Amino acid sequence: MSDVDLSSEQYEKHREAGEILAQVREEAAERVEVGASHLELAEWTEDRIRELGGEPAFPVNISIDEEAAHATPSADDESTFGEEMINLDIGVHIDGWLADTAITADLSGHDELAEAPEAALDAALDLVEPGVETGEIGAAIEEVIDDYGYNPVVNLTGHGLGRWDQHTPPNIPNRAVSQSVELEAGDVVAVEPFATDGGGKVSEGSDEQIFALDREQSVRNRDARKALDQITEQFRTLPFATRWLDVDRPEMALRRLERQSVVHGYPVLKEDEGALVSQKEHTVIVTEDGCEVTTRR
């Protein structure tokens, strides 16, 4: 038996973040329709999180068709939804304690592809308990997605969630792997299968709208300094969007900070063959005898 106290304040905050997130995910998915604005949906979702008592843990990711992650609208984005495959990846934190979830809202008519990661996630969550190997969870995800006739995206993984830290060990692979670690009671992990009708690998595109702090240092430019003050106070080490910055020319301020290695960007990740990608994600707390899904309604 482990001596983790799952009723401690830390876990209560993880649960509270998950509860807000479960509600917001469903409400946001219902707002996805042909002709709706990407920017309006992102801003509505982020505002709704705050309204319910949380803070966005990262900018709402709105990934379209071959995009798998890190796509969020810019401040002047005029994109609207078409008959596409749309993934919403949303995070909430309470005092830095996180929850992370994703859902595919499909307008493209690829029902089975949208269903595959959901079924894979259910199979994965059935296995989660102390002592289970992360590779075993990956094997279950891969098997279900294979059975649907698709490929898992192999170079994206689930991950642990720390305080003010969106990606911590352990990684939860989306396929069978030989090297893995055992889950322990008290671990907080996001399990996120991705399925594709392509080859199953993603690589970086050129667009970057999401950034995170690497290190604090003195910055001479006034706008860059103002941006850095806001980043360190408000977002700390969590990812943020260019459109969240309250400075005159946020793109230029971020370019300066990036050149000085103060922040790094997250380029949009795209399926290598330009194929469709679907996604489903829940956050779980590993308990003594299984797991508690914090982001399920």
Q: What is the pLDDT of residue 1?
A: 42
Name every residue whose Cβ is closer than 8 Å to that of residue 3 and which is 6 or more positions away in sequence. Answer: none
Query: Is 70 exceeded by the pLDDT of residue 273?
Result: yes
pLDDT digits (tens, 9 = 90+) for 175-191: 999 999 999 999 999 99
Q: In what order do the strands lie in the sheet with 85-94?
A: 55-64, 85-94, 97-106
Kindly list the catalytic residues.
89, 100, 159, 167, 192, 281
Write the single-letter amino acid at 199: G
Average pLDDT over residues 208-237: 96
pTM above 0.85, yes or no: yes
pLDDT band at 2 (very low <50, low <70, confident <90, very high): low
In this structure, what token pair is assigned to residue 32? 């996805």
Q: Smallest Cα–Cα separation from 10: which of 187, 183, 167, 131?
A: 187
